[in-house]
Amino acid sequence: MTVDSSPVKFTPARPGQPGPDVRTIGGGRPVFRAELPDGRIVWLVSGYENVREMLIDQRFSRALAVAPGRAQPGFEMSAAGSISGMDPPGHTRLRKLVASAFTVRRVEALRPRVASIVDQLIDAMAGEPQPTDLVAGFSLPLPAQVICEMLGVPAADLGQFHAWSDTIIGDWQRDADEIMTAVVELYGYFGTLIEIKRAQPVDDLISALIAARDNTDRLSEHELTAMCCALLIAGHETTANHINLSLLLLLDHPGQVATLRADPKLIPGAVEELLRCTRLGGLPPARVTSEDVRLGGVTIPAGELVIPLYSTANRDRSVFTDPDRLDVTRAAASHLAFGAGVHHCLGAQLARVELQEAFRGLIGRLPGLRLAVPGSDLEYKPGMAIHSLRALPVRWDEP
Q: Which of 159, 169, 96, 99 is nearest to 382 (CA)?
A: 169
Instruction: Indicate whether 211 belongs to the interface with other proteins (CB under 8 A).
Output: no
Contact pick of 2, 58, 116, 130 for other proteins (by CB under 8 A): 58
Instruction: Indicate whether 317 belongs to the interface with other proteins (CB under 8 A).
Output: no
Instruction: Indicate whether 338 belongs to the interface with other proteins (CB under 8 A).
Output: yes
Instruction: Indicate whether 62 belongs to the interface with other proteins (CB under 8 A).
Output: no
Contact call for residues 192 and 153 (beta carbons, < 8 A): no
# binding residues, other proteins (CB under 8 A): 25
> For the chain, how many residues are written?
399
Contact pick of 75, 102, 161, 320 for other proteins (by CB under 8 A): 102
Contact pick of 20, 131, 341, 393 for other proteins (by CB under 8 A): 341
Contact pick of 333, 367, 382, 390 for other proteins (by CB under 8 A): 333
CA 296, CA 51: separation in Å to the nearest integer? 9
Instruction: Indicate whether 265 belongs to the interface with other proteins (CB under 8 A).
Output: no
- Evaluate the CA torsion angle 127, 128, 133, 137 in order and state its sign: negative
CA atoms within 13 A on the CB side of 180: 8
Contact call for residues 104 and 349 (beta carbons, < 8 A): yes
Instruction: Indicate whether 197 belongs to the interface with other proteins (CB under 8 A).
Output: no
Nearer to other proteins, 96 or 111 (CB): 96
Instruction: Indicate whether 109 belongs to the interface with other proteins (CB under 8 A).
Output: no
Q: What minimum distance in Å lies between the beta carbon of 58 and other proteins?
A: 7
User: Could you tell me the strand order of the sheet in which 31-35 lies?
Assistant: 8-9, 31-35, 41-45, 305-308, 287-289, 60-61
Instruction: Indicate whether 334 belongs to the interface with other proteins (CB under 8 A).
Output: yes
Q: What minimum distance in Å lies between the beta carbon of 340 and other proteins?
A: 4
Contact pick of 11, 92, 116, 160 for other proteins (by CB under 8 A): 92
Q: Residue 267 class from Cβ within 10 Å (0-12 exposed, 13-18 middle, 19+ buried)?
A: buried
Contact call for residues 131 and 372 (beta carbons, < 8 A): yes
Instruction: Indicate whether 71 belongs to the interface with other proteins (CB under 8 A).
Output: no
Instruction: Indicate whether 111 belongs to the interface with other proteins (CB under 8 A).
Output: no
Instruction: Indicate whether 41 belongs to the interface with other proteins (CB under 8 A).
Output: no
CA 101, CA 344: separation in Å to the nearest integer? 15
For 96-131, b/e burial (b = at least 16 CB within 10 A) is ebbeebbeeeebeebeeebbebbeebbeebeeeeeb
* Binding residues vs other proteins (CB under 8 A): 52, 55-58, 88-89, 92, 95-96, 99, 102-105, 333-334, 338, 340-342, 344, 346, 348-349
